[in-house]
Amino acid sequence: MTDLTKLTIAEARDGLQKKDFTAIELTDAFVSAIEKGNGALNAYVLQTPEHARAQAKESDKRFAEGKARPLEGLPLGNKDLFCTNGIRTTACSNILGNFKPTYESTVGQNLWDAGAIMLGKLNNDEFAMGSSNETSAFGNVVNPWRRKGKDGKASTDKLVPGGSSGGSSSAVAANLCLAATATDTGGSIRQPAALTGTVGIKPTYGRCSRWGIVAFASSLDQAGPITKTVRDSAIMLKAMASHDPKDTTSVDAPVPDYEAVLGKGVKGLRVGIPKEYRVDGMSAEIQKLWDDGIAWLKSAGATIHEISLPHTKYALPAYYIVAPAECSSNLARYDGMRYGLRVNGDDLIDTYEKTRAKGFGREVRRRILIGTYVLSAGYYDAYYLKAQKVRTLIKRDFDEAWNTVDVVLTPTTPSPAFAFGEKSGDPLAMYLEDIFTVTVNMAGLPGMSVPAGLSSQGTPLGLQLIGKPFDEETLFRTAQVIEDAAGRFPVPDAWWMKG
């Protein structure tokens, strides 16, 4: 039998329907791959094989009865930011300790109701704050990709898988699940997807319910999938998205059948190339990747237009006001009283302070302090209000652009996957990882990363597509054209399976 873990969602779905294999066989293939390969990658922080087998059993029963649901029997990984009923959820922070939610996130529930199977909880940067998965309380996640050494052979240096959804990107690239849930506040789906040769989409703000997802910055957070192919991405997003009365910002709009638009092509589509994204010091290989993307879309019948998004350079500094401000408010709930860690002090305030000093990691503490500062008396107008006004201008740039183009094409990241420690010493250097992705969150737009080439080091690079609000369909059909032209980027050597 072929290696079932290498299948895409679409292929596994067909195989299950044709009874080439059962849901139990498929699930067991992943369970043993995780047992063997997770030690080297640290993508899963909790494995739930019993839970997965129980779900698989139900799936096989439904196949036998002819009652299969859209994602019946498909094994997925679930980012540890998504609450799981009765199963430990930590946001990869010590402050949540052994927290076991008594409810399921809406996105998760949608997936399980569609018949999908959960293999376990995936690692991420603590509270989704990071771009390298180096801030998790469970330790670093390793990218299955390796750099080419000077001798042309693969180097054994460990590379970051991107962040914050580093467990999701690593697990999908390493075939430790068919696909994974992820979340994106400033680039946390698209940047890890780009660094691992996988596909990641952050839908429009409001497309997926945020209910039951541990909150970071509520006006920016959105859920989305990381997958092996564009088609898989379309299948996953369709199942994850819904209107949810429990999240007032979720939008009451029908969720289209994204898979149905994949073959539509881009003939006559107007593609915008924002000149402000040609940043100083952009590397030649990123420039070439971008030019390749332009050429592919052009030869598929799209027209290319230079556009201007003049406030682009202000997106990142505005983000580093808005995101910490909202994080400091959201994380105020971790006070050691109702759940998670409590460190007893001399009095109530001392207990709060000791609990939060011990429970939160360094980057989270730093962001809470920045957020507290910018929201403190006398500073609100100068920082938070100012940043929200700049956000209006960023959104207005895009509103203008939509008069002349239908979709925007940019690189996803300024550089390929880097090594551990390379950027973690300097918060500002790390923040620059999100320079191309963060504008999309600030404007609330849908954004997608598609693998498009390899760097000179032999590691993957991604192109980003940005769309109009709730126009994920255009992203999917454009992404399909890029994937068809660029091909897929599986990891060449499964070294993590060799012990």
Which residues bind to other proteins, rule: CB under 8 A? 99-102, 204-206, 245, 248, 251-252, 311, 313-314, 317-318, 320-321, 328, 332, 335-342, 344-345, 347-354, 356-357, 360, 365-366, 368-370, 372-373, 376, 383, 385-393, 395, 427-428, 443-445, 469-470
Round to whole Å and give the CA distance between 25 and 29.
Answer: 6
Residues in the chain: 499
CA separation for the pair 448, 195 (Å, rounded): 13
In angstroms, what is the minimal distance from the CB of 114 to other proteins? Answer: 24
Q: How many angstroms separate the CA atoms of 133 and 98, rounded?
A: 20
261 SS3 class: helix
392 versus 456: smaller Cβ distance to other proteins: 392
450's enclosing H/E stretch is strand 447-454
Q: Between 120 and 444, name the residue whose CB sits nearer to other proteins.
A: 444
- The pairing of beta strand 117-122 with beta strand 44-47: antiparallel
Residue from 402, 325, 408, 327 nearest 360 by CA: 327
Secondary structure of residue 166 in the 3-state scheme? helix
Closest to other proteins by CB, 180 vs 430, is: 430
> Which residue lies nearer to other proteins by CB, 8 or 219?
219
Supply the residues annotated as catalytic: 79, 164, 188
CA distances from 290 to 125, 405, 431 (A): 28, 17, 22
- Choose among 222, 175, 219: nearest CA to 197: 175
Smaller CB separation from other proteins, 305 or 366: 366
Structural element, H or E, at residue 26: helix 23-41
**Degrees to nearest 5, angle at CA 370 with 89 and 195:** 55
Nearest-approach distance from CB 321 to other proteins, in angstroms = 6
Query: Cα–Cα distance between 270 and 304 in angstroms, integer?
Result: 6
Specify the residue, 103 or 495, whose C-beta has the smaller distance to other proteins.
Answer: 103
* 416 closest CA partner among 166, 146, 171: 146
Q: How far is the CB of 309 from other proteins (least distance, A)?
A: 14
Closest to other proteins by CB, 175 vs 355, is 355
| Bridge partners, residue 77, by sequence | 120, 180
Give me the least distance between CB of 105 and other proteins, in Å please.
Answer: 16
Span between the terminal Cα atoms of the chain, in Å: 22
Least distance in Å: CB of 96 to other proteins? Answer: 9
Name the DSSP class of 63.
H
* Residue type, position 461, single letter: L
Q: How far is the CB of 429 from other proteins (least distance, A)?
A: 11
- Give the shortest CB-450-to-other proteins separation in angstroms: 23
